[in-house]
Chain A
Amino acid sequence: MEINKEDKKNIINKISEVLITMASKPSGFIGLAILIFHVILAISSPWFVPYDYKAINPSLMLQAPSADFWFGTDSLGRDVFTRTALGGRTALVVTFFGSLIALLWGGLLGIFCGLVGGKIDDVVMRIVDAFLSIPWILAMLLIVSLLGTTTEVLIPALGFFYGKGIVRVARAATHDVIAKDYILSAKARGHNNLSIIWNEILPNVRDAILVEGAMRWSWMLLGFSSLSFLGFGVSPPTPDWGLMISNARGLMSFAWWAVIAPIVGLSSLIIGINLTADAFAKALGIDRSTKAPV
């Protein structure tokens, strides 16, 4: 579908309208603020961090927070503030693109299954169910150990595993729409499936899928950090919250600062995304508290 000028204006209007509605409630405002803060931090941190993130200095091991080292130093004498500020970058990029991939394949496959129904739907959904029954972290470990831990591997792998749930949501949303007469009307006119998906179904299930995608983003962030924690995410010395927590957790009893900083970074981002997703859902008129997804 070609997008003409008027459509573009409409889309921009709609986005700004949704953003304003989101920010007008305290929870949405806080969520958006945290999310924007993290995004700005991730973009700008390389330019303002005070130390080199990989500079090891044994003489400065496990320093408590001070004027020189705001968040203290870790067991290798690296500045925790520097590493925390940089630690969200990989996670944010990997999970953002991962969620996009999850949205794309999960959403389209779900809509397709909902539309065609019958045997194809049965088979596809059983395959999705089978994948759902495999503990994703085991499967991820297998993939990562076979193909390595580069972002080129992690993004599509995470995207695949987190898209399965979106298939079900998109299919359920499509089922709500499919019984409506305007779909029947399009069928009776003789439109093909692709045109029905694009013109009739997508605009009506888009909101539900986007909200689901936003929720998946925060889950994926947690998943990605778990992988790092287990040593299968980013490889050292690249700073990453999961990895930092994993390295410092043994020293928690006497060097708490090395754990607290990445934990606050990770959990605030997840809370921010969650609040934003909820506010987004409410702004679009899909209230997750009353209508839980399948």
Chain B
Amino acid sequence: MSNNIQSVKNLSIGFKSQKGKEISILRNVTTNIKKGETVGIVGESGSGKSTLALAMMGYVKHGLFTMNGECLFNSLNLLDLSNNELEKIRGRKIAMIPQNAGQSLTPNLKIGYQIEEALKLHTNLNENERKNRISELLNNVRLPSPDVMALRYPHELSGGQQQRVAVAMALAGNPELLLLDEPTTGLDVTTQAHVLELLKDIAKDTGTSMVYVSHDLGAIAQVCDRVIVMYAGEIVLEGPVRKILKEPIHPYTNGLLKSIPKLSLEGLPESMPGAQPQPGHIGEGCSFYDRCNISDEKCKTKTPDLEFLSEIDTSVRCFNYKKVIINQNKNIQLKNLDEKNIENNEILSLSDVSISYAKQSFLDQLFNKLTDSNPTVKDINININKGETIALVGESGSGKSTILKSIAGLLKTKDGNINFAQNRKLSEDLKNRSSDDLRAIQLIFQNPDESLNPNHTVEQILSQPLKLYFGLKEDKLKKNIIELLEKVRLGEFYMTRYPRQLSGGEKQRIAVARAFAAKPEIILCDEVTSALDVSVQAAVLDLLKKLKDDFGTTYIFVSHDLAVVKAISDRVAVLYQGRLCEIGPSKNVYKFPSHPYTEVLLGAVLEPDPDIKPKLIAEDIVEEKPPEKGCCFQGRCPRILGDKCREEVPPWQVGENGNAIRCHIDIEELKIQQS
């Protein structure tokens, strides 16, 4: 027992519904965290993973209460302690790193001061020792020049640096257990890979136990020794990371892994049918019964227990775990990517498009002077063919959403033309676009919670474009709405529902239906799946693909997730700081030679496989402004040549695999360097 730092026993946490019914969120969770171990808790949203992690530091959210069970930390039941007693443990023995460090740091206090506060509270160091400790901590989390850093305010740091400061603060009290709640979810891919690397090193150096909560199996694979998979408030699978991710013997985990798009595979991932049951709607039998493909009669009526299999050191909650067919990569039945019927027929072309957010000052306006010589987005030339899916990829600040908005007419371009269907110039002002042009281009947004009016029923939401563009009324309107709902595989009864009554995936389907209601030629998809759970993401991608096949729509797909992009797109354009770096068929962009930035991005992709490590070849510094001269990637390029890159804008080169790269390094040379 002394080996366990934390043991959770039979823990159930729930809330009281308005009718006074007790509804459980966590159901009889039992698990142990060993000393020096890193445990990942994985699950989709609503699976209870954050509730479990918070309970591990003795915190139960307002409105929730402990129904039974205990959380023992060094044989002390945290859930019984008073706030005063908990204060002595939190920060000193158990520390937490929140998801969004930018919001958890006080904006008007210097970094050093905030860390010192933590030190004052949790240690007995004197002032000088504290000063030294601050530098040491900042050094430990690999922030450059710690003494300078300590004098900065949180807003002067990038997202990755803020997260590092949060790690430093958590380490200030030398905790025995560190809880991490989705610590890298809001970060860019390259930054995420760096932060994970840091966490791994800290675990190794300090011997701190960690509990890592995430929905991202890729991140879990990188840092964790053991994984707990949660589903509907229960642990369904628990075991060593390799066993869980490579040979998952629970059907849910298996399905989850299959639904993650991977760089090594082609085509769309398999989606899991159905959705996780809501708390309070979990009936008899196995909670995964509805979505399971190997279930039988027994599963319907009896709830399986968590069974420990000692030979593989794994616990599983399934009667039929022997039937789970573990999919090795080679066995995966990929959905055939039929040869595209892309006509060589240009539908949209962007020529020399520049977009600037800079506002002209009054004087400059008077003299009609253009001030911004270095706009946010510059010289974008892309031709898009009918029926094609083109993806714009890049980290935050790469201008991908900006480009999308100006195609939709929501942002004015500074220079250049956007032409629709060969030579018909789209007005940059929304008001001057004809109704037909407006209809032809539709947008789908990232977060359906924001893009659907919460006070409208599904019927009202879908009738907006139908009324506006086609003037449909009454019976015809209703018929069309039902047809649309069928197209996105939702039933007629959804018409009277409000968005808050729908799950995330259903909401996004409504958003997709609304876009298709206009019978558009082009659909702009802005990170449409990044707010969704992986299993839902796979289903939405699948839907988009099917609708495209039916209607021949052209998609412009913006994403930061290279694996998703590879799964759905025909062509990829890689952007950095609003400049195009590389463009080519998506099959080939993932093969070398490629632009050094693409190489960096590809290296940072996290695969849900502990044996595939990310390759970190460049720093994750963030530049706020594109450089005035030369190559846009000069600040971070691992293969920079020298002054040439800083002075001259690189030329386009086309590699043998058909992708165009904008780099000074000769394409053959690049190929040799990268292989």
Q: Residues of A at under 8 Å CB distance from B?
A: 6, 180-182, 184-191, 199-200, 203-204
Chain B residues near A186: list those with CB within 8 A.
464
- Return chain A residues, CB-CB under 8 Å to B65: none
Nearest Cβ in chain A — how far from B461, in angstroms? 8
**CB atoms of A181 and B445 under 8 A apart:** yes
Instruction: Judge whether B430 and A204 touch: CB under 8 Å.
Output: no
Q: Which of B438, B451, B453, B469 contacts A204 (CB 8 A)?
A: B453
Q: Which of A180, A182, A188, A203 contacts B410 (CB 8 A)?
A: A188
Q: Are B518 and A189 in contact (CB under 8 A)?
A: yes
- CB under 8 Å from chain A, chain B span 377-412: 408-410
Q: Confirm or deny: B302 has a beta carbon within 8 angstroms of a beta carbon on chain A.
A: no
Chain B residues within 8 Å of A189, by CB: 438, 442, 464-465, 468-469, 518
Cα–Cα, bound, A199→B453 (Å): 9
Residue numbers in A under 8 Å from B438 (CB-CB): 188-190
Q: What is the chain A residue whose CB lies nearest that of B496? A: A6
Query: Is B230 an interface residue when CB atoms closer than 8 A count as contact?
Result: no
| Cross-chain contact A203 with B430 (CB below 8 angstroms) | no
Please, could you name 18 A-B residue pairs with CB atoms under 8 Å apart, sorted by A?
A181-B446, A181-B447, A181-B451, A182-B450, A182-B452, A182-B453, A184-B410, A187-B410, A187-B430, A188-B409, A188-B438, A188-B442, A188-B443, A189-B442, A189-B465, A190-B435, A199-B460, A203-B453
Asked whether any CB of chain A lies closer than 8 Å to the CB of B285, the reply is no
Question: Separation in Å of the B87 CB from the closest CB of chain A?
Answer: 25
Which 4 pairs across A and B sit closest by C-beta, in order of nearness?
A203-B455, A190-B438, A181-B451, A181-B450
Per the bound structure, the CA–CA distance linking A213 and B464 in Å amounts to 30
For B452, the chain A residues whose CB sits under 8 A away are 182
Complex Cα distance A215/B446, Å? 38
Q: Shortest distance in angstroms between B2's beta carbon and chain A's nearest beta carbon? A: 46
The 8 Å CB contact of B408, one of A180, A188, A191, is A188
Given contacts A6-B496, A181-B445, A182-B452, 16 further A-B contacts (CB under 8 A): A180-B451, A181-B450, A184-B445, A185-B443, A185-B445, A185-B514, A187-B410, A188-B408, A189-B464, A190-B433, A190-B435, A190-B438, A191-B464, A191-B468, A199-B453, A204-B455
Check B456 for interface membership: any CB of A closer than 8 A.
Answer: yes
- The smallest C-beta distance from A40 to any residue of chain B, in angstroms, reads 32
CA distance A204 to B456 in the complex (A): 10
B441, B443, B453: which has the most chain A beta carbons within 10 Å? Answer: B453
Chain B neighbourhood of A181, CB < 8 A:
445-447, 450-451
| B contact residues, range | 20 to 34
Interface of A is mostly: helix
A6 CA to B460 CA, complexed, in Å: 12
For the complex formed, measure the closest distance between the CB of B325 and the CB atoms of chain A, giving whole angstroms.
41
Report which of B433, B451, B455, B460 forms a contact with A185, defined as CB distance below 8 A: B451
- With a cutoff of 8 Å between Cβ atoms, the chain A residues found around residue B409 in the complex are 188
> Is B273 engaged at the interface, CB distance under 8 Å to the other chain?
no
With both chains docked as a complex, state the minimum distance between the C-beta of B321 and any C-beta of chain A, in angstroms: 43
- Min Cβ gap A166→B in Å is 20
List the B side residues contacting A203 at CB < 8 Å: 453, 455-456
Kindly report which residue of chain B lies nearest to residue A201, judged by CB atoms: B453
Q: Say how far A6's CB is from chain B's closest CB, in angstroms.
A: 8
How far in angstroms is the closest Cβ of chain B from A137? Answer: 38
**B453 and A190 within 8 A (CB):** no
For window 258-282 of chain B, which residues contact chain A by CB distance below 8 Å? Answer: none
Chain B residues with CB under 8 A of A180: 450-451
Q: Which residues of B contact A187 (CB under 8 A)?
A: 410, 430
CB of A7, distance to nearest CB on chain B (Å): 9
Q: Mark B456-484, 1 if CB is under 8 A from A, else 0.
A: 10001000110011000000000000000
Closest to B511 in A: A185
Cβ of B454 within 8 Å of any chain A Cβ, yes or no, is yes
Q: How far is the CA of A163 from the CA of B446 in the complex (A)?
A: 38
A199 CA / B455 CA spacing, docked (Å): 9
In angstroms, Cα B503 to Cα A36, docked, is 41
Task: Using CB atoms, name the residue of chain A closest to B473.
Answer: A2
CB proximity of B472 to chain A, nearest CB, Å: 14
CB distance from A101 to the nearest CB of B (A): 25
Contacts of B454 in A (CB 8 A): 204
Bound-complex Cα distance A138 to B518 (A): 56
Tell me the complex Cα distance, A139–B603, Å.
Answer: 71
B468 contacts A182, C-beta separation under 8 Å: no
| Cβ–Cβ contact B443 & A199, under 8 A | no
User: What's the least CB distance linking B526 to chain A, in Å?
Assistant: 9
**Closest approach, in angstroms, between the C-beta of A156 and any C-beta of chain B?**
31
Identity of the chain A residue whose Cβ is nearest the Cβ of B499 in the assembled complex: A182
- Asked if A199 contacts B430 (CB within 8 A), the reply is no
Specify which chain A residues have a CB less than 8 angstroms from the CB of B514 in the assembled complex. 185
Are A200 and B435 in contact (CB-based, < 8 A)?
no
Give the complex CA separation of A188 and B426 in angstroms.
Answer: 13
| Residues on A with beta carbons closer than 8 Å to the beta carbon of B443 | 184-185, 188
Choose from B430, B435, B496 the contact partner of A188 (Cβ within 8 Å).
Answer: B430
A186 to chain B, nearest CB (A): 7
Q: How far is the CA of A178 from the CA of B518 in the complex (A)?
A: 23
Cβ–Cβ < 8 Å partners of B518 in chain A = 189
Alpha-carbon distance A191/B446, docked complex (angstroms): 21
Q: How far is the CB of B523 from chain A (nearest CB, A)?
A: 12
How far is B446's CA from A171's CA once the two chains are assembled, in angstroms?
26
Distance from A153 Cβ to chain B, minimum over Cβ atoms (Å): 37
Residues 16-46 of chain B, each 1 if its beta carbon lies under 8 Å from chain A, else 0? 0000000000000000000000000000000
Measured in the bound complex, the distance between the Cα atoms of B454 and A185 in whole Å is 14
B residues less than 8 Å from A190 (CB atoms)? 430, 433, 435, 438-439, 468
* Whole-angstrom CA separation of A107 from B401 in the bound complex: 33
Q: Identify the closest chain B residue to A1 (Cβ).
A: B460
Instruction: List B277-329 residues whose CB lies under 8 Å from chain A.
Output: none
What is the minimal beta-carbon distance from B656 to any residue of chain A, in angstroms?
40
A200–B438 alpha-carbon span in the complex (Å): 19
> How far is A185 from B446 in the complex, measured between Cα atoms in Å?
12
B17 to chain A, nearest CB (A): 16
Find chain B residues with CB under 8 A from A185 CB: 443, 445, 451, 514
Provide the residues of chain A in CB contact with B451, threshold 8 Å.
180-182, 184-185
- Chain A residues lying within 8 Å of B468, measured Cβ to Cβ, are 189-191
Render B142-174 as a binary contact track against A, CB cut-off 8 A, 1 for contact. 000000000000000000000000000000000
Chain A residues near B430 (CB-CB < 8 A):
187-188, 190
Name the CB-closest residue of B to A207.
B455
B447 & A199 in contact (Cβ 8 Å cutoff): no
Contacts A185-B445, A189-B468, A190-B468 given; indicate if A200 touches B410 (C-beta within 8 A): no
Q: Whole-angstrom distance from the CB of B492 to the nearest CB of chain A?
A: 15
Tell me the nearest residue of chain B to A182, going by C-beta.
Answer: B453
